[in-house]
Structures are given as C-alpha cells and as structure tokens.
Structure 1
C-alpha cells in the first residue's frame, strides 16, 4: 500500500515537472513572437524610407501615376481597396512592405526609391 502511494506521488511530481516545462516553453515562444512583432525593422531600405520626412505633393504625384488606377484618384478604392485612413490600420513599416513586396496579388511589386516611398507615405498619411 505504501509503495502504491509513493508511486502515485512520484508520478504526480513528474507530471507537475513536465507541465511546468511545457508551460515554460510556451511562454518563451509567445514572448519571442511578441518581441519579433515589437522590435523595429532592421531592413536598410525601410530605415532609409523612415529617415525622410516626405513631401505630400510629390507623394500625390507618385500616387496618381502608380496607384490611382487601382486605388482610385483620391484613394477611395476601385479595383484595389480604399486607402482612406490606411495609416490608422497599418503601421508605416507594414505599408512599406505591402507596397514593395508584391505579395498581395493583384498588386504588383513596386520598388520606388526610398525618398519616393517616403513621399508616398506622407501622402497616404493624410488620406481620410
């Protein structure tokens, strides 16, 4: 009887250790994912874009030539979605990645210079 009780206690202790180890791994994984989302980008292109203030007038001209066909003349949407209040929904880093990646068909990959991208961002920021 004492051996069975001792065996149960040993099993319970092992289960607690295993559960604690699993929870530790899950917490570390979650913290790593959160840190990855919160750490600013190290991408040189994005850092250069963000170093410019941007010019709204130039950004508007870039938008009209490259984006208005799908997103509408005023960014209201057409074939592509509306870009009104886009800066409230996406960070500048995410907007830059969206524009240059080409990973959201049918939007083509677009590689403006860093200064042109900063100008485009300044234009998009003021769309409301």
Structure 2
C-alpha cells in the first residue's frame, strides 16, 4: 500500500532541509524589516532630527557628560556602575545613542532630556571616545 505523497515528500531529507532554510530566511527577512522600520521611526522623530542637524561641541559635551553621566559611566567613560562608553559610536548609530540617552529604558539609567544643542554636544563628545 503506497503512502501519502505529501508524507513521502517530507520523508526526503532534501525537501525538509529546503523547507527549514526557507523558514529561516523568511524569519531573517521579517527581523531585518523590523529593524529597518525601527531605525526609520527613530530618525523621523523631530527631536532626533533637530539634534542631528546641529553641530555639537565636544568640550561642552564633555562637561555635560561629567555632570550627568560620569557618576555611573566613569569620568573617562570607561565604565563604573554603567558600561564603558569607549568606542560606543562603533556599536551604536547616532540616533540609537540619542534614543538611549533620552529614553530611560535601561534601568538604572534615568530618563534624560537635554536640549537639542546639549544633546548634539554630548553626542559629539561620545563619538570622539
């Protein structure tokens, strides 16, 4: 008695492997679209757009950092309670850094809402670390 043709197809390792690969590729595609959409939403935020349109002063940014961030991240941004921020711009986009600073979504980091110019100054300082 012959089995179900669909069942016979699934018994073949090549068909199963192809289906698994297709599912994995589809998941990666959906994840990629989600990440891209999140980046677009971040950059479309008026506050972030304003910050990115300004020229920051790293000296003023360092002063802002020392007053607001150094207690947790260390005076030289090398980590203390909070993580090291050395070379942080290699790991985070400018909009990602801004979002991290203003969101307060990573406890115990408090929500911090500097003016756009202050944030541009801080961002320029962080990019130089």
TM (norm. structure 2) is 0.73
Q: Which residue of 1 aligns with 2:5?
A: 9
Residues paired across the two proteins, number = 122
Residues 6-40 of structure 1: per-residue CA shift (max 9 Å, x gap): x5225446999xx7888766544431211222343
Change in Cα spacing, 1:11 to 1:69, as seen in structure 2 (3 Å) is closer
Residues in 2 aligned to 1:10 and 1:90: alpha-carbon distance in whole angstroms = 47
Q: Which residue of 2 aligns with 1:48?
A: 50
TM (norm. structure 1) is 0.74
Out of 34, 37, 44, the position equivalent to 2:35 is 37
Residues in 1 aligned to 2:10 and 2:72: alpha-carbon distance in whole angstroms = 60
Q: Which residue of 1 aligns with 2:68?
A: 66
Change in Cα spacing, 1:79 to 1:13, as seen in structure 2 (3 Å) is closer
Change in Cα spacing, 1:21 to 1:55, as seen in structure 2 (3 Å) is same
Change in Cα spacing, 1:55 to 1:41, as seen in structure 2 (3 Å) is farther
Structure 1: unaligned runs, 5 residues or longer? none
Q: Where do 1:42-121 residues align within 5 Å?
A: 42-43=41-42, 44=45, 45-121=47-123
Residues in 1 aligned to 2:81 and 2:7: alpha-carbon distance in whole angstroms = 62
Residues 48-70 of structure 1: per-residue CA shift (max 9 Å, x gap): 22222322122112111111122
Residues in 2 aligned to 1:87 and 1:54: alpha-carbon distance in whole angstroms = 15
- Cα-Cα RMSD: 2.7
